[in-house]
Amino acid sequence: MKTYQAEKIRNIALIGNAGSGKTSLAEAMLYEGGIIDRKGTVNGKNTASDYNEIEQENLNSVFSTVLYTEFNDHKINFIDTPGADDFIGGVISSFTVADLAIMLVNAQQGVEVGTEILNRHCEKYNKPLMLIFNKLDHEHANYEKTIEAVKTTFGNKAVVVQYPVATGSDFNAIIDVLLMKMYKFNDAGEREILEIPADQKDTANELHNTLVEAAAENDENLMELYFEKGSLDENEMRKGIRAGLITRGLFPIFCASAEKNIGIKRVLEFITNVAPAPDMIPAVKTVDDKEIECKEEGDTNIFVFKTTNESHIGEINYFKVYSGQVTEGMDLNNNSTRTKERLSQLYVVAGKNRTKVSKLVAGDIGAAVKLKNTKTNHTLSNSKDEVKFPNISFLNSKYRTAIKAVSETDDEKLGEALNRLHELDPTVEIEYSKELKQIILSGQGEYHLNNIVKWHLDNEYKIESVFYAPKIPYRETITKTAASNYRHKKQSGGSGQFGEVYMVIEPYKEGMADPVSYKINGRDVKVSVRNKEEQSLPWGGKLVYYNCIVGGSIDARFLPAILKGIMEKMEEGPLTGSYARDIRVAVYDGKMHPVDSNELSFKLAGRHAFKAAFKSAGPKIMEPIYDIEVLVPANRMGDVMSDLQGRRAMIEGMNSDKGFEKLNAKVPLAELNKYSTALSSISGGRATYSMKFSKYEQVPMDVQDKLMKTFQEEEEED
């Protein structure tokens, strides 16, 4: 295969709602470029894109698939992405390396949930966009309703380049208002280029003028030219459309039937003639804000955006060459792991089919196999500067579950398998919670984890596992001051154990002055701070520990042991066994024995004194609160709000966002279990949401009583 230069390369992400026909379009693009000699079908389970067993079982894309085709002396790299929101990670990673997104719109359904969600992601990542109305040959296809819905969602930036003469079974001709020609197709998908029929002239001219104006608006020179001539020629229009694509000022609309190969060749022509090459896109920036220009000359810098593992081959790393060139056998530094890698074999890929190449240059996408220490998000470079590109910013998880192996003998295997799955899909997150004594699995939705991750564990790793409701990481704290003392005394022949501790505990707040006195048992007791230790706790909040011992009632060497006892109880709070936080402790008196006192005695005395004081200090359980943002159609807003209020949500605000209502609320994590599934049911699948941790807040008393009762019952059972 020849080596393509940046100006002859196009990098594209195929996006769209599930069922919009992305995989069929990918097949048609491969077929038109001669990469495959026969098109597969999703139902036939023989497409180049959906080649994984799980995708063939589910008849939809689960992973993003890297492909390429050759057309008009260009190489077009394109990535077929999943349509379901649970697999949005594949779209986000593709956006990292794609210079253009092609949104497929199902002409039967018009603008769907996925269309709206993906449009917001395109906007967020500032991704150039074109649209293809697919499945216009379907009996329920409705071009007029689809264009109306698209205009509502995308605004006037969505501009017609093509429209169908007819839809349904009569769909066999497209009017192209850029070239002002009609394309007519036979049953084999072969096209004939004709003049526009007389009955279509007025419509075509009107749309042509709209397209000319849209193209001119994106380039000042073209605008002046347009005012002078009253029109633009074909090359001038292409220049204006390209400028509009790059700045997201214009979203051209095309028509197609990917299944019948209608309109695909023209789409490829447009991509090669008009779509931006990688060296036309703004330069990518490193983590230290240095721009890396897409040039073949100079240092080599590549970024790994996807990793897969395939039988008989092992690990495959997919990368984009941001600058320089990569050659077979080249040694590069992995700046993410500070190790060296040799790229002994280079490939361009079309799904599971790989073509060996000796060289790839700036702007191109390829793959390497059997790299030792390289994963997704890693930067490889031969630059003297330690170039490192930003990690892909995946979305926060929306669903969590606990997981365990059915057989304890599989515990280690399960851990290894989950870590492996995270490497292949970074949106699968694993936390081994010492606090909850659970493995917590997080992802983009219930289907993502309960179906896809579970399938891999069952079928690939042969590990029988159970998914169950995760515990909530509560916190315990106090609301008032309390004093206590505890004497630990044990005598069993020989030297015994003795330690007595007096302490005061109180709620900690940032900026508090050190204590000078406390009211203990109705009398004021002055304290003198000898030493202060302030510890930021790993689970959040602080513990402040004061040594206020005077007169040597406790030897200084026993003070660390008392703190150790307190910390042990902080790690296993008295109310529910949850972590305690935001407390300060003053040890002000005690007693010791010249023979029987030791560190263990004072550790136990400190632990028990702290527990007793805690229970008298207005103890409170605190729960994690999450900020959530819900995007919901206006007609479903009432149902969504009612559901949230039933989840103890605090509604903070609402505003409109392109036909959707945006609702912001704070919701306890305990109330968000399976919320993604519930929201989909309430909104008919049209709402989506994001969530992130906000803070800890006290739980209501009825909830606290219930939690304490449950904990007590569990302790009694143990």
DSSP per residue, 418-433? HHHHHHH-TTSEEEEE
Give the pLDDT confidence of 487-505 residue by residue, as tens digits: 999 877 667 899 999 999 9
**Which residues, listed in sequence order, are joined to residue 501 by a DSSP beta bridge?**
486, 590
In CATH, the number for domain 399-471 is 3.30.70.870
Predicted TM-score (pTM) above 0.85: yes
Q: Which fold has domain 8-175+250-273?
A: Rossmann fold (3.40.50)
What pLDDT does residue 159 have? 97
What pLDDT does residue 542 have? 95
Alpha helix segments (H runs only) across 571-598? none
Q: Chain centroid to CA 392: how far?
A: 9
At 705, the amino acid letter reads D
Q: Architecture of 621-703 per CATH?
A: 2-Layer Sandwich (3.30)
Same CATH topology for 399-471 and 621-703?
A: yes
- CA-nearest of 695, 242, 624, 325 to 471 is 624
Tokens of 321: 């060459």
Name the helix (H) or strand (E) containing 121: helix 113-124
Give the pLDDT confidence of 422-432 residue by residue, as tens digits: 988 999 999 99
What pLDDT does residue 198 have? 96
Strands 181-185 and 173-176: antiparallel
Name the helix (H) or strand (E) containing 23: helix 22-32
What pLDDT does residue 240 have? 95
Q: What radius of gyration, in Å, describes the C-alpha atoms of the chain?
A: 32
In the block, tokens 């995760």 appear at 470
Beta carbons of 29 and 260 less than 8 angstroms apart: no
What pLDDT does residue 107 have? 96
In CATH, the number for domain 476-604 is 3.30.230.10
Rounded CA gap, 197 and 189, in Å?
20
Mean pLDDT in order along the chain per 10 residues (718 residues): 94 95 96 93 89 83 93 97 92 96 96 89 95 96 96 94 96 96 93 96 96 91 86 91 96 97 97 96 94 95 94 90 96 95 95 93 96 95 93 92 95 94 92 92 91 92 95 96 95 83 96 93 91 94 95 93 96 93 96 93 97 96 95 89 95 81 94 90 86 94 93 80
Contacts of 218 by beta carbon, 8 Å cutoff, 6+ apart: 240, 241, 243, 244, 247, 249, 250
- CA-nearest of 197, 190, 244 to 216 is 244
Q: Give the sign of the dihedral formed by CA 361, CA 366, CA 371, CA 376.
A: positive
Rounded CA gap, 159 and 131, in Å?
9
- CA-nearest of 284, 296, 282 to 326 is 296
At 381, is the secondary structure helix, strand, or coil?
Answer: strand
Name the helix (H) or strand (E) containing 69: strand 65-71
Q: Chain centroid to CA 293: how far?
A: 27
What pLDDT does residue 346 have? 96
In the block, tokens 């040890």 appear at 587
Rounded CA gap, 570 and 576, in Å?
11
At 630, is the secondary structure helix, strand, or coil?
Answer: strand
Q: Sketch the domain layout of the chain as residue ranges.
A: 8-175+250-273, 293-305+316-381, 399-471, 476-604, 621-703
Alpha helix segments (H runs only) across 220-290? 220-229, 234-246, 264-273
Q: Architecture of 293-305+316-381 per CATH?
A: Beta Barrel (2.40)
- CA-nearest of 414, 381, 377, 380 to 392 is 377
DSSP 156: G
Tokens of 61: 């894309």
**Which residues, listed in sequence order, are joined to residue 499 by a DSSP beta bridge?**
488
Q: Chain centroid to CA 630: how far?
A: 16
Rounded CA gap, 283 and 379, in Å?
16
Rounded CA gap, 653 and 635, in Å?
17
Beta carbons of 64 and 83 less than 8 angstroms apart: no
Rounded CA gap, 332 and 465, in Å?
40
